[in-house]
Structure 1
Amino acid sequence: MSAPTVPARFRNMPPGPLLGDRVLADAQRQPYTLFELAPVSPIIGAEISGVRLSGELSPEVLAELRRALLEWKVLFFRDQDIRREEHRDFAALWGGLEQHPFANIIGDSGDVDVVALAKDATKAGVENLWHNDVTWRVAPSFAAILRAVEVPALGGDTLWADTGAAYDVLSDEMKEKIDGLVAEHDWASSFGLSMSQEQIAALRPQFPVANHPVVRVIPETGRRVLFVNRVFTERILGMDESESAELLETLYRHMNRPEFQVRLRWAKNTIAMWDNRACQHYAVSDYFPNRRVMERISVIGDRPVGVQG
């Protein structure tokens, strides 16, 4: 008896186990000895306890945190009652701090490297699209550190999706198709919506269109991750418009499956840190008109490198 034919609607995304791993299969996995680490999902997201982010962190603790970030992509720290200056000091341990050029559009804090995301009855949350931050930069952010200042009683969760695990479970045929592709990323169709054409043209020399590999390689681990997103990716180079749109939609839908996700319910003084290279995030906008205030600091990244270098 022949095997049943798989319905066409299931061929790109068949149901069943999706067993992407959180690290490369041959990676050496070591225990964490300087703090407690509790996984929140099988592949992405871990809660860290036993570390005070407002204090001095030894090189050994910082090294373990770096290893945990590479392995779990998102780290959660609860009950961190710290000041903005301490938030900034912790972020600076990871690299140079990024100044967001459109901070006046997405938030306002009065500080060049802190974006205060305050939402209430006068300003609803609009970050509920899956994305990596600032992929329109030539060198997108390495990481972001988000601190909950004020949260609603219900709602306002944030989700992250592991784009490395999503790549892992693609078919060999799809991997071969996308490994060498390059996509165009731009800010004009998002942040530019609140600008005039003259303002966009004036900013173009400073923030040109950026081209990045569709499959990015994380240099510390060699992990391959999908590096396209709905907000900033415009098209795949070398394809006609319809073919590019179809392939991108297939990748978006695949990346955003729940098996690759972790979800955080915020509480005041919770901090989330994530590797912006290796995961996307989505801020749930279900709390309007209640108030939600977060402060975010981003760490400068490097230029993405693809499979072929």
Structure 2
Amino acid sequence: MTYALPATAAPTPTDPLAYFGPIIAPRTAANMEVLPYELFSLEPQTPTIGAEISGIRLGGDLSDEVMAELRRALIEWKVLFFRDQNIERADHRAFAEAWGALEQHPFYRYTQPGQSDVDVATLAKDAAAVGAENIWHNDVTWHEFPSFAAVLRAIEIPAVGGDTLWADTGAAYDLLPDDIKARIDHLEAEHDWITSFGSGMPQDAIDTLRPNFPPVHHPVVRVIPETGRRVLFVNVAFTQRILGVSKEESNELLRLLYRHLMRPELQVRLRWKPNTIAFWDNRTCQHYASSDYYPARRVMERISIVGDKPVGLSR
């Protein structure tokens, strides 16, 4: 165990798994100008990730100026929370459409019967359909074009429990020792759905879907085009292995990165209330839905936005 001595500036951990003391990362890329928000109120929830926005109603009628500030806030804080959003499904969809094309989840027909359209999906969990999203992940990284973002609204919430957590993958990268960065900067990893969604599907469904959704390769370190920010882009739900290294080294690196991402200093936690909305950048954070409310009922409405092909560091 490494013991941190008091210091005026936070040291860079030499071993991210055997360290305690100040764990401080920059919130943004070095070249991003941090400006005040003038068209709504923004309250940070942690030093690097998560901010609550108040003073606006979500829907399709937001001005270009408000949208520009929201885009800046999303890049700066990675996940935005909006309380008391008593909106209709049409408003929910219109807000998502303002950010890009909407995404049809190809597996909803098996995991959420009757919800195969590109629309707001109702995700109901209770004693009969238990919550099983309690695993750290970026959405659909098994796709060539993983989601850009998702908009999730709480409809019915347990009296206690059912929180969601997000982890800042840019801060996680920044806090890695230089030797670990050097090892992973130019590596790629294989992502697949077969060990997650596929585990509960009938074989004929797997056979039908497999040709359209083969394993894909993405950079371990993704570069966000708007800012040049480097983020970790591997997750325990869908990443199968790191390519170009031995199985043993792949397992070692993935274990290290996953454990590093589990540090609370890299995370924000949301306690839901009805009509709370979370809107997150799927490129720059992972999320985890705490499944601690069984057999109570938890109902959410969600829609996702199509992303682009992840780009890594140039050699």
**SS of 2:95's equivalent?**
helix
Structure 1 residue 255, shift from structure 2 partner: 1.1
CA distance in 2, matches of 1:236, 1:259: 26
Q: How far 1:197 sits from its partner (Å)?
A: 4.0
Q: Partner residue of 1:41?
A: 46
Match of 1:118 among 124, 129, 142: 124
CA 1:89–1:108 in 2, change beyond 3 Å: closer, same or farther?
farther
Matches for 1:253-264 after TM superposition, within 5 Å: 253-264=259-270
Q: Which residue of 2 aligns with 1:237?
A: 243
Considering only aligned residues, what root-mean-square deviation do their CA atoms show, in Å? 1.6
C-alpha distance after superposition, 1:139-179 (max 9, x if no partner): 00000000001111100000000000000011111111100
- Is 2:91 the counterpart of 1:86? yes
Counterpart Cα distance in 2 of 1:37 and 1:109: 37
Alignment coverage as a number of residue pairs: 303
Distance 1:109 1:257, change over 3 A: farther
Q: TM-score, normalised by structure 1?
A: 0.94
Helix, strand or coil at the partner of 2:254: helix
Quote the residue 2:313 is aligned against.
Answer: 307
Q: Deviations over 1:183-233 (max 9, x none)?
A: 000001111112244432331221111100000000011100000000000
1:244 deviation in Å?
A: 0.7
Partners of 2:131 and 2:212 in 1: CA distance: 28
In structure 2, the partner of 1:72 is 77
Residue 205 of structure 2 corresponds to 199
Instruction: Measure, in 1, the Cα distance between the counterparts of 2:267 and 2:127.
Output: 29
What pairs up with 1:22-37 in 2 under 5 angstroms? Answer: 22-37=27-42
| CA displacement 1:108-136 (0-9 Å, x = unmatched) | 56443322210112111000000000000
Distance 1:296 1:141 in 2: 13
Where does structure 1 differ by over 4 angstroms across 4 or more consecutive aligned residues? none
| 153, 173, 177: which one aligns with 1:167 | 173
- Whether 2:25 is the aligned partner of 1:20: answer yes
Deviation at 1:11, TM superposition (A): 3.7
Confirm whether residue 182 of structure 1 aligns to residue 188 of structure 2.
yes
* Identity %, equivalent residues: 64
- 8 Å contact kept, 1:100–1:113: no
Distance 1:76 1:19, change over 3 A: same
Per the TM alignment, residue 6 of structure 1 is displaced from its structure 2 partner at its CA by 4.8
Deviation string 1:46-78 (CA, Å, 9 cap, x unpaired) is 000011113610000000000000000000000
Contact map agreement 1:108 1:115 (CA 8 A) in 2: no
Provide the residue aligned with 1:103 in structure 2: 108
Q: Match for 1:227 among 233, 241, 249?
A: 233
State how far apart, in whole Å, the 1-side matches of 2:113 and 2:89 are. Answer: 14
The equivalent residue for 2:293 is 287
Shift of 1:308: 1.3
Equivalent residue of 1:43, what SS?
Answer: coil
Structure 2 runs not aligned, ≥5 long: 4-13
Cα 1:261–1:293 change in 2 (3 A) is same
Matched, 1:278 2:284: yes
Within 2, Cα distance between the matches of 1:109 and 1:16?
Answer: 50
Cα distance in 2 for partners of 1:71, 1:148 equals: 24
- Which residue among 37, 49, 56 is the counterpart of 1:51? 56
Residue matched to 1:210: 216
